[in-house]
Amino acid sequence: MLDCGTLRSQDRPEQLNSHLLNSGRKDVWIASIRTRSSNEAVTINFKAITLKAGESRYTKVSSISFDASKAERPVQFSGKITVEVKEINSSKLEVPYQAEVLQGYLGFDHTVTLFHIRDCPVDPVNRSIFLTNAFNFAVRIHNVTLPDEAKTMFSVSSGAVCTVSE
């Protein structure tokens, strides 16, 4: 199973590499790797390759990208990738793939996170950061943290439940 994980519809494509091992006695020529049924969300980068017989190490045979922005229907979130070899009477290898695609995003106004640092200390500046939930489900914020290097200058207070914006 190739699992692309949970992606938002605007995320960059998730790329996974496929590796195969030929433990047989004859070399195997990989002729093609493609999706079983057409899917614009899946791109396969593949060049024909021969897997040497008796290898003990896996060989990279393809890079498979899943682009959530092109997956418009749930039927595109999963499928099978077919590996075909150039052998008469050989069976095809089918590898299932899946992704969970969330339509929407959790956004905020990035300009409220910009601060002017002055030469002399002044009173702390408090700013609220309002989140916009463009998902079709409620989102609960369990924890908000800062990187260690930011904790000397910033602090975070309270959390909230975000509901779907209308």
Backbone angles phi, psi at 96, to 5 degrees: -75, 150
- Residues 93-114: what's their mean pLDDT? 90
**Stated pTM of the model:** 0.73
Do the Cβ atoms of 147 and 158 come closer than 8 Å? no
Q: How confident is the model at residue 164 (pLDDT cuts 50, 70, 90)?
A: very low
| pLDDT score recorded for residue 155 | 81
Do the Cβ atoms of 64 and 2 come closer than 8 Å? yes
Q: Where are the beta strands (DSSP E) in 110-156?
A: 131-133, 139-140
Residue 88 DSSP label? T
Least confident of 26-30, 116-120, 143-147: 116-120
Residue 103 reports pLDDT greater than 60: yes
Q: How confident is the model at residue 159 (pLDDT cuts 50, 70, 90)?
A: low
- Residues 86-110: what's their mean pLDDT? 87
**Residue 153: partners with Cβ closer than 8 Å, 6 or more residues away:** none
pLDDT tens sequence across 30-63 = 999 999 999 999 999 999 999 999 888 999 999 9
- Residues 60-80: what's their mean pLDDT? 95
CATH number 2.60.40.10 given to 2-102: yes
pLDDT tens sequence across 16-35 = 999 999 988 889 999 999 99
Tokens of 6: 């949970």
| pLDDT score recorded for residue 166 | 40
Report the percent of the chain where pLDDT is more than 70: 90
In this predicted model, which residue has the larger pLDDT, 164 or 118?
A: 118
Q: Report the distance separating Cα 68 and Cα 100, nearest Å.
A: 9
76 burial via Cβ count (<10 Å: 0-12, 13-18, 19+): buried
Q: Where in the chain is the domain with CATH 2.60.40.10?
A: 2-102
